[in-house]
Amino acid sequence: MESGVLDKFEQDVQQNHQSFKSWWGYIDLFDDTHFQEKRMIYVRALKELPMSYKLWHTFLLSSERDARGTPLESPTRLELTQRYEESVVYMSKMPTIWKNYIEWLYTNCEITQMRRVFDRALRSLPSGQHKILWGVIMKYIVSLDSPKLFNNMVTRHLKYDRSLSVEYVKVCIEKGSLYLPTAASILIKHLGSTWRVRREEYELLVQVIENGGADDVVDVESVLRHGINEYINDSGRLWVGLARWHIRQGRVESGIVVLEQAMEEVVSVRDLYIVRECYEAVISSLSQNSNDTDKDDNQRIVHERGETVLAHVMMQVNGVLLRKNPEDVSEWISRSHMYIEQGDVVSAVDTLLEGIKTVKEGINGTKSDIYSELISWYSRAGKYEVVNSLYNKAKTESLSQEEEGKLSELIVKDSVKRGDVTKALEYVEEATLKSSRIKREGSVWRAYLAVEKTRKGLLGIVSVYEKMIEIGCITAREVLEYIDLITKEGKALGIEDTVWSIYERSILKFTYPIAGKLWMKYFDDFVSKYGETKVERCRELYESALLKCPAEFKLEISKKAVAFESTKNSSYRVIELYKKIVKEVNPESLCETYLLYGQAVNELEGSQSAQKVYEEGVLKVGRREEWRLYLECAKCLIENEDVDNARDMFVKGAKRCSVKEHPEFWNTWNDFEEQFGNELTYKDLLVAKADVMGYFGEN
């Protein structure tokens, strides 16, 4: 380097010894290959500007690069440590200088000095900047194999930032058994100082306990049971941890008892299987670790008890579901069936009685279903007094009218089944009194009907049917059964013609489509009997039905009316019916109605009149269905050998008729041209087909 340049910078720093710019320019003149010269200038500059952060920072970093690769006890390293000491005298409020100093001491293997410098840094810096230093030093503390130092530093750090508890516990578990007491201590302090402990933290404590790191630090029993109560919906691993702790302490019987208690208290199937897996492993281990010659009675008893417990998995699952939702009626009944399969009738009955006490609202069934199950059992056992007592008790419950009605139906049919018709009659008469809250329930009247059928009194049966129609609780099937009964046996009492009144009164009780089906049956029966003698009455029935039915059912009823008028050769009435119906049917049925209308006009008045009907329909139906009317019109014209008009219908209908979706139209037109057309007309067909395929993107 030229001496003139150096002299220039030297003269500048001597004249401006307090100028950072002058010193920085002088330092920048040298590269790292001339570090010794550069270092001397740094030293001179820092004597003049000891409060310059940039000078200290760059000087120390450059010195570190120079010191790397030298022995630990080399003068270069010792000098750099001394320089760091000098820097923190002036830069005590600069966290980066402290951070670099700590990192340098760790690199230099000066752990004790590193801790002391760290303490000085904490005292010098404001608390808001401590996080930077903690992150640096704890990274190095974790990498060291010193449980005592780790414990001390972690304890101090958690006083500053308690949110890191779980992370440090995980570190302890990874580092091994010597660190587990620290993990236990951290968790206990955290559990005691947090109002809501996460499930993960309890599970970490279980891991620590299972590895034997918490025996002398924590009251394992109380802590884990507190966690079980806190996380009752996800407590399986905590139960298993508590049981394993007992077993590791040599209290195998206590561990087994804990697992059995867990199976009786967990409220999720997943937790149940976690506990069962551990329980099965413990029982299996007991069997393998004891020889037949020296197996004592206690071990044999425990083993047999374990096999019994493990065998009842479905019962345990059912218990879990009931604990989770005690309102589940189907599970109460399933549990009673399980007891019956085991031959334990007493427990089955007790289960149903407990279900009656527990269920309030009920899901997957109602409380009346439990009563029904219990009543059926006692009835099969012949204990009719108990049945009557249960029925009376059920009526005092807050059952809905429908539930109480079904229960009454059960008790009545049960009485009929065992031949006690008198008792059954008492039940239904009581249930149908004016003061009864279930007097309008269909199930009660169906039970009443069953009693009267058993008594075989026609007047009694008719009376019940009439009352059911009056109340409105009769079903369409029961209406047809009533009509069939009157048709077959009513002649003896002179009431066979009341079936028409039954039809009319019953239809008023139903809505469509059920009312429509009854109308159809009414038409068929009446027309078959009086179709020739009471023509006007038949027409009145059809008109009455069409007047009252919704638009979507008018087409179906009109078909019946048209069929009837066709048998009377009344073409005028057929045409008038269709003219009226096309104005009243719903849009979905309009196309089909016009197809029928056109066919009827074609048969009665010819193809020219039918063409007018079809063209009228095209104007009213949607574009997606107009091709059907054009096709049907073309067929009518072909039958009457009107070739030109038929071809015109094909041309008009083809405009919005997809080739892929409606091949029937195009195949019919193709056959038509092959039979009646020529080369030019067939070419027109192909052109029209190509245009339509292009329009629909079907090329």
What percentage of the chain carries pLDDT values higher than 70? Answer: 88
> Global pTM?
0.58
d(CA 223, CA 194): 13
State both tokens at 331: 């599970």
Q: What is the pLDDT of residues 429-459, one digit of tens each?
A: 777 777 777 777 777 788 788 778 877 778 8
Expressed in angstroms, the distance from the first to the final Cα of the chain is 85
Identify whether the C-beta of residue 329 lies closer than 8 Å to the C-beta of residue 352: no
pLDDT band at 211 (very low <50, low <70, confident <90, very high): low
Residue 47 has pLDDT above 80, yes or no: yes
Work out the average pLDDT over 54-70.
Answer: 83
Name the one residue in this structure whose structure tokens are 């030019």: 680
d(CA 521, CA 454): 28
State both tokens at 293: 């010659």
pLDDT band at 198 (very low <50, low <70, confident <90, very high): low
More confident position, 187 or 112: 112
pLDDT band at 214 (very low <50, low <70, confident <90, very high): low
State both tokens at 90: 């002036």
Q: Is 363 helix (H, G, I), strand (E, B) or coil?
A: strand
From residue 489, alpha-carbon distances to 385, 494, 499, 521 in Å are 39, 9, 12, 19
Q: What angle do CA 399, 441, 508 make, to 5 degrees?
A: 145
Helix residue ranges per DSSP H, 146-268: 147-160, 165-175, 180-193, 199-210, 220-230, 236-248, 252-265
pLDDT band at 672 (very low <50, low <70, confident <90, very high): confident
Host H or E run for residue 401: helix 401-417
Quick one: CA dihedral 322, 328, 329, 330, positive or negative? negative
Peptide bond into 95 cis (omega under 30): no
Q: What is the pLDDT of residues 623-644, one digit of tens each?
A: 788 888 888 888 888 887 888 8
d(CA 209, CA 441): 63
Count the neighbouring beta carbons within 10 Å of the beta carbon of residue 637: 24
More confident position, 72 or 292: 72
User: Based on the number of CB atoms within 10 Å of its own CB, is 149 exposed (0-12), middle (13-18) or buried (19 or more)?
Assistant: middle
More confident position, 560 or 335: 335
Measure CA 114 to chain center.
56
From residue 50, alpha-carbon distances to 13, 80, 89, 173, 452 in Å are 15, 16, 9, 47, 116
pLDDT band at 619 (very low <50, low <70, confident <90, very high): confident
Residue 363 has phi, psi (to 5 degrees) of -130, 155
Q: What is the pLDDT of residues 249-273, one digit of tens each?
A: 788 888 888 888 888 888 888 888 8
| Ranges 154-158, 219-223, 578-582: which has the least confidence | 219-223
Name the one residue in this structure whose structure tokens are 């950072």: 20
- The pLDDT assigned to 394 comes to 79
Name the one residue in this structure whose structure tokens are 């600069």: 94
- The pLDDT assigned to 301 comes to 61
Identify whether the C-beta of residue 629 lies closer than 8 Å to the C-beta of residue 598: yes
Q: Which of 155, 137, 158 is nearest to 95 (CA)?
A: 137
d(CA 440, CA 468): 8
Identify whether the C-beta of residue 135 lies closer than 8 Å to the C-beta of residue 164: no
| Ranges 59-73, 123-137, 486-500: which has the least confidence | 486-500
Identify whether the C-beta of residue 657 lies closer than 8 Å to the C-beta of residue 638: no
Work out the average pLDDT over 343-371.
Answer: 85
Residue 391 has pLDDT above 70, yes or no: yes
pLDDT band at 116 (very low <50, low <70, confident <90, very high): very high
d(CA 321, CA 304): 26
Helices (H) then strands (E): counts for the chain: 38, 0
Q: Is 235 helix (H, G, I), strand (E, B) or coil?
A: coil
Q: Which residues, other chains included, contact 615 with Cβ-Cβ below 8 Å and sequence gap of 6+?
A: 633
User: Based on the number of CB atoms within 10 Å of its own CB, is 38 exposed (0-12), middle (13-18) or buried (19 or more)?
Assistant: buried
- The pLDDT assigned to 195 comes to 43
More confident position, 30 or 591: 591
Name the one residue in this structure whose structure tokens are 């196309």: 591
Q: Which residues, other chains included, contact 129 with Cβ-Cβ below 8 Å and sequence gap of 6+?
A: 95
The full 3-state SS of 267-323, as one line of letters, equals: CCHHHHHHHHHHHHHHHHHHHHCCCCCCCCHHHHHHHHHHHHHHHCHHHHHHHHHHH
More confident position, 280 or 295: 280
- The pLDDT assigned to 61 comes to 85
Report, in angstroms and rounded to the nearest whole number, the Rg of the chain calculated over CA atoms.
49
Per mean pLDDT, which of 257-261, 390-394, 555-559 is the most reliable?
Answer: 257-261
Residue 328 has phi, psi (to 5 degrees) of -80, 100
Work out the average pLDDT over 156-166.
Answer: 78
Q: What angle do CA 84, 88, 94 make, to 5 degrees?
A: 115
d(CA 128, CA 135): 13
- The pLDDT assigned to 470 comes to 80
Residue 169 has pLDDT above 50, yes or no: yes
State both tokens at 605: 């008045």
Work out the average pLDDT over 291-318.
Answer: 67
